[in-house]
Amino acid sequence: MSQISLTFPDGNSRDYDAGVTPAEVAASISNSLAKKAISATVSGNHWDMQWPINEDASISLHTMKDDAQALELIRHDFAHVMARAVQEIWPDVKVTIGPVIDNGWYYDFDREEPFTPEDLGQIEAKMKEIINKREPVTTEIWDRDRAVKFYEANNEPYKVELIEAIPGDEPLRMYWHGHWQDLCRGPHLQHTGQLPADAFKLMSVAGAYWRGDSDRAMLQRIYGVGFQNKEQLKKHLHMLEEAAKRDHRKLGREMDLFHMQEEAPGQIFWHPNGWTVYTELQDYMRRQQKRGGYVEVNTPQVVDRKLWEASGHWEKYQEHMFIVEVDEEHAREKSVNALKPMNCPCHVQIYNQGLKSYRDLPLRMAEFGSCNRYEPSGALHGIMRVRGFTQDDGHIFCREDQIESETAEFISFLSKIYKDLGFESFSVKFSDRPEMRAGSDEVWDKAETALLAATRAAGIEPELNPGEGAFYGPKLEFVLTDAIGRDWQCGTHQVDFVLPERLDANYIGEDGAKHRPVMLHRATLGSFERFIGILIESHAGKLPFWLAPRQVVVASIVSDADDYVQQVVDALTAKGIRAEADIRNEKINYKVREHSVGKVPVILACGMKEVEDGTVSMRRLGEKHSKVLPLDEVAAALAGEATPPDLA
C-alpha cells in the first residue's frame, strides 16, 4: 500500500498508509484526542473523521474548542437528529432539506397536520433521547440508482427530486445517525453523543415553499438554535430578549414617534416626535445633496398608466400598484392612473423638457419622492417595509464614460453620510441580471461590467447576489441590519441603459448628433421610513443628540423653581435646542424615570439650589449620576451637540 505524508499545524509531518482516516490519525496520536475529535481540516477542506485521505496533505484535527467547525457540525447534526426525531414520532412525515444557518439550523418537512408549540417540546425530548443513545454516525457512498430506489421505496419524493437535480453522475454520500439516514454532503460528528443535549432549543415553526418556489408545495419549517454549551445558548436567548427591546415598533410607541392603524395598512401616522426626526434627517440630506451637485425636483403622485406602460413598470408591477380610476362622472373621459410607485419615469420627463447638451451631463436630479406600492400583505413590517414611503431618490443622467466616476462619487457620498449617521460599516451586494428583464444581453453585459468595475475602482469588493438585479439593470445594494440581524437594503445604485431608450431620453453630443444618456438610479438612505426604523434599532432609541426629537427636559424639583425652569428652557430654545419644561406636580424620581423611558438624552433638574446659583443639575440618559453646572456652560455645550455633523 502506498504511503502519504500528513503535515500537522506545528509543521511536523508523519507518514500514513494512503486511505487513512482522520479518526485513525487521531488514534495514532492519543486515545483522548480520538475521543474528543469532531472533524479535521485536510488541505483546507472541512473533513469528516471517517473520510479517507489518499494523498499528501496538511491536516489539523478539531475539537469542540474550534468554534467555527464545532458550531457547523453541532448545528448540522442537530438538524439530522431533529429530522430523525420527527420521523420517529410521526413516521408518515416526509423529509426534505435542513441546512445550517446563523445561530442554528432549520429543517423543512411535509406533513398534513401543522406542528404545534407542544409538538416542539415533544421533538426536543425525543432529540435528547437520541443524543443520549450516543449512536455512531456513519457514512457510505451510494450510486444514484440505489439512492433513488431507496427513497422511492421509502416514499420520500422530495429526496428523489433532490437527487435528480444533482448534475452529473457523481456518487452520493449517505449518512446514518443510528438507524436513521439522510442524503448529505457531510461532514458530521463521530456519534450523536457529541451533541450538547442541553445547548439547543427549537424556536418556531413557519411555512416555507419547497425549493423556494411559491408555485410549489408549502412545507413546514422548524427552526432551532444550537451552541457548544448551555451558557452560550443562554447568552443567545438573552441577546434575543435584549434585541426585542430595541424593536422600532416598540420604541416608536414608547418614544411617541408614530403609529399605524388598520385603516391604512403599511402607512405611517408620524407623531410630532417622529416627524422631528424625519425632518431633521431630511434637512440634513437636502444639504448633502446640494453639496453633491444635485438639483432638487418634485413630481406628480397620480400619473396616467400610459407613462407606466412606456416605462415597462405596468407590465411587471401592475399588481403592486395602487390604481386610481377616474370615471366619466368626474371627468369627460375615463382614465386609469397609478399612484407613483417610483420616481424614475417622472424624472425622465423633466430631463426630456428642452434639448440637452453633452455639456449638461452628468445631470444629477434628486427628489424626496413619495411613493406608494401595494406590497403583499405578508411583506409589511413596521416602518421598514411599508406601502407609502418617501425615497431620497436621485437619477444621474450621464454618458457611458462617466459611469465609473459617478459611481465612485456616489459610494463616497453614501459612505460619508452613513458615517455621520453612525454606521461605520455596511455590506455591499452586487445584483446582476434577473430572469425577467428588459434590454438585450449586450446591454446587460455592458451595464454589469461598468458597474462592477466602478465599484471595485472605489475600493469595494461586493458580495455577489446573482439574478437579483432590477428589471432594467444591475444594482449595488447597501445593506444594514436590524436589531435581530435581519438584512435591509437601504442605499442602492443602479445602472440603466433601458429606461432612457424606452422613454426616449437623449442629448446632443460634441459631434452634433443625438445620443442616449445612461441613467444611474440611486438612493442613499433608501426610504426615510426604513432608514429611521434602522436608526432607532441600531441606537436602541438613543438617537444622536442632533436627531433626538426631544433633546432636553428641564424638570422642576420644587414648584418654587418653576419660573427658573421656564427661563432655562427659553435660554436653550434661543440656542436652537429642543427643550421643554416639566413642572408637573411630581417627584423628580418620577420625572427622571418617565423621560428616561422616553429616551430623552438630557434631563436638567432644578431645585432651589440651582435657582440661587444660576446652575442646572444635568443628567444624561443612561448615566447614574448628575452634575451641577452653570447654565451658560450647559447651554453652550448642548448647542454644540445639537449641531448636525455636517454643520459642526
Partner RNA sequence: GCUGCUGUAGCUCAGAGGUAGAGCACUCCCUUGGUAAGGGAGAGGUCGAGAGUUCAAUUCUCUCCAGCAGCACCA
What does the alpha-carbon distance between residue 350 and residue 368 come to, in Å, rounded to a whole number?
15
Query: What CA–CA distance (Å, rounded) separates 414 from 477?
Result: 11
Beta strands in 217-341 (DSSP E): 218-226, 258-259, 269-270, 295-296, 302-304, 323-326, 335-339
Say if residue 187 is preceded by a cis peptide, omega within 30 of 0.
Answer: yes
Contact stretch for RNA (CB under 7 A) within 285-293, 353-361, 543-551, 555-563: 555-563
Q: Which is nearer to RNA, 275 or 374 (CB)?
A: 374
Report the alpha-carbon distance of residue 568 to residue 613 in Å, rounded.
Answer: 13
- The dihedral region occupied by 493, where left means phi > 0, alpha psi between -120 and 50, and beta the remainder, is beta
375: contact with RNA by CB under 7 A: yes
Smaller CB separation from RNA, 291 or 584: 584
Q: Three-class SS of residue 201?
A: strand
DSSP label of 395: E
Give the shortest CB-78-to-RNA separation in angstroms. 18
Catalytic residue among 395, 437, 550, 595: 395
- Out of 610, 631, 638, 642, the only residue in the binding site for RNA (CB under 7 A) is 610
Output the smallest distance, CB 615 to RNA, in A. Answer: 8
Q: Applying CB under 7 A, which part among 130-138, 326-334, 338-346, 545-553 lies near RNA?
A: 338-346
Half-sphere exposure in the Cβ direction for 294 (13 Å, CA)? 29
Choose the binding region for RNA from 6-14, 89-97, 532-540, 554-562 (rule: CB under 7 A): 554-562
State which of residues 83, 205, 307, 579 lies at the interface with RNA (CB under 7 A).
Answer: 205
> Of the residues 126, 313, 385, 475, which is catalytic?
475
Residue 489 in the binding site for RNA (CB under 7 A)? yes
Using CB under 7 A as the binding rule, the residues of this chain from 117 to 136 that contact RNA are none
Q: How many CB atoms lie within 10 A of CB 116?
A: 10
Q: Examine the residue annotation and report whether 475 is marked as an active-site residue of this protein.
A: yes
Q: Is residue 317 at the binding interface for RNA, with CB under 7 A as the rule?
A: yes
Cα dihedral 607, 609, 615, 619 in deg (nearest 10): -50
Q: Does 484 bind RNA (CB under 7 A)?
A: yes
373 an active-site residue? yes
CB of 56 to RNA, least distance (A): 42
Which residue in 9, 52, 293, 376 binds RNA (CB under 7 A)? 376
253 sits near RNA (criterion: CB under 7 A): yes
Question: Smallest distance from the beta carbon of 272 to RNA, in angstroms?
Answer: 16
Give the whole-angstrom CA distance, residue 79 versus residue 71. Answer: 12
Nearer to RNA, 47 or 258 (CB): 258
**137 versus 534: smaller Cβ distance to RNA:** 534
User: Which residue type occupies 127?
Assistant: M
Catalytic residue, candidates 48, 108, 392, 393: 393
Q: Is 282 helix (H, G, I), strand (E, B) or coil?
A: helix
Q: Catalytic: which of 391, 402, 494, 551?
A: 391
On whether the CB atoms of residues 527 and 390 are closer than 8 A, the answer is yes
Q: Which of 124, 129, 235, 122 is nearest to 178 (CA)?
A: 129
Q: In angstroms, give the least distance from the CB of 391 to RNA.
A: 9
Annotated catalytic residue 419: no
| Footprint (CB under 7 A) of RNA, residues 82-121 | 114, 116
Question: 243, 380, 479, 540: which one contacts RNA (CB under 7 A)?
Answer: 380
Identify which of residues 356 and 433 has a Cβ nearer to RNA in the complex.
433
Q: Is 395 a catalytic residue?
A: yes
Pick the stretch among 128-136, 144-152, 218-226, 573-581 that binds RNA (CB under 7 A). Answer: 218-226
Contact between 625 and RNA by CB under 7 A: the answer reads yes
Q: Looking at beta carbons only, is 194 or 343 nearer to RNA?
A: 343
Should residue 323 be labelled a site residue for RNA when binding is judged by CB under 7 A? no
Task: Report how far residue 555's alpha carbon sits from residue 547's, in angstroms, rounded to the nearest whole number.
Answer: 21
410 CB burial (10 A radius; 0-12, 13-18, 19+): buried
Give min distance, CB of 212 to RNA, in A.
Answer: 4
Residue 186 found at the interface with RNA (CB under 7 A): no
Q: Which residue in the set 191, 313, 493, 578 belongs to the binding site for RNA (CB under 7 A)?
A: 313
Of 583, 579, 562, nearest to 570 by C-alpha is 579
Q: Minimum distance between the CB of residue 479 and RNA, rounded to whole angstroms?
A: 10
Q: Among this protein's residues, is 15 annotated catalytic?
A: no
- Judged by CB under 7 A, the stretch of 60-68, 143-151, 187-195, 202-210 that binds RNA is 202-210
Contact assessment for residue 628 and residue 617, using Cβ atoms and an 8 Å cutoff: yes
Q: Is 320 in the site for RNA (CB under 7 A)?
A: yes
Cα 529 from Cα 548, distance rounded (Å): 16
Query: Which 434-473 residues touch RNA, going by CB under 7 A?
Result: 434, 470-471
| Per CB under 7 A, 419 contacts RNA | no
Smallest separation (angstroms) from RNA to the CB of 303: 12
Specify the stretch interacting with RNA by CB under 7 A; choose among 204-212, 437-445, 446-454, 506-514. Answer: 204-212
- Residues near RNA (CB under 7 A), total: 78
Question: Which CB atom, from 10 or from 263, has the smaller least distance to RNA?
Answer: 263
Q: Are 16 and 25 in contact (CB under 8 A)?
A: yes
Q: Shortest approach of RNA to residue 632 CB, angstroms?
A: 17
Q: Which residue has the cell 416626535?
A: 273
Within 10 A of 173 (CB to CB), how many other CB atoms are there? 18
Binding mask 268-307 for RNA (x = CB under 7 A): ----------------------------------------
* DSSP string over 473-532: B-EEEEEEE-TTS-EEEEEEEEEESHHHHHTT--EE-TTSSEEPPEEEEEEEEEEHHHHH
Q: Which of 521, 522, 550, 599 is catalytic?
A: 521
| Closer Cβ to RNA, 230 or 238, answer by number | 238
Phi, psi angle pair for 480, to nearest 5°: -120, 160
DSSP 3-state percent helix, strand, coil across the chain (nearest 5): 40, 30, 35
CB of 605 to RNA, least distance (A): 3
Task: Kindly state the smallest distance separating residue 57's Cβ from RNA, in Å.
Answer: 37
The answer to whether the CB of 601 falls within 8 A of the CB of 621 is: yes
Least distance from C-beta 589 to RNA, angstroms?
Answer: 4
> Residue 209: which of 350, 325, 108, 351 has the closest Cα?
108
| Residue 544 interacting with RNA (CB under 7 A) | no
Determine whether 20 is exposed, middle or buried from the number of CB atoms within 10 Å of its CB (0-12, 13-18, 19+). Answer: buried
Helix 631-642 to helix 562-574 angle (10° resolution) is 40
Query: DSSP assignment of 44-88, as one string?
Result: TEEE-TTS-B-S-EEEEEE-TT-HHHHHHHHHHHHHHHHHHHHHH
Establish whether the linkage from the previous residue to 362 is cis, with ω within 30° of 0: yes
Map grid coordinates 445558548 to a residue.
233
Please select the residue that binds RNA; options are 80, 94, 493, 521, rule is CB under 7 A.
Answer: 521
Q: Which of 75, 126, 173, 373 is catalytic?
A: 373
Site map (CB under 7 A) of RNA, residues 559-598, x = contact: xx------------------------xxxxxx-xx--xx-
Q: Which residues are catalytic?
A: 344, 373, 391, 393, 395, 475, 521
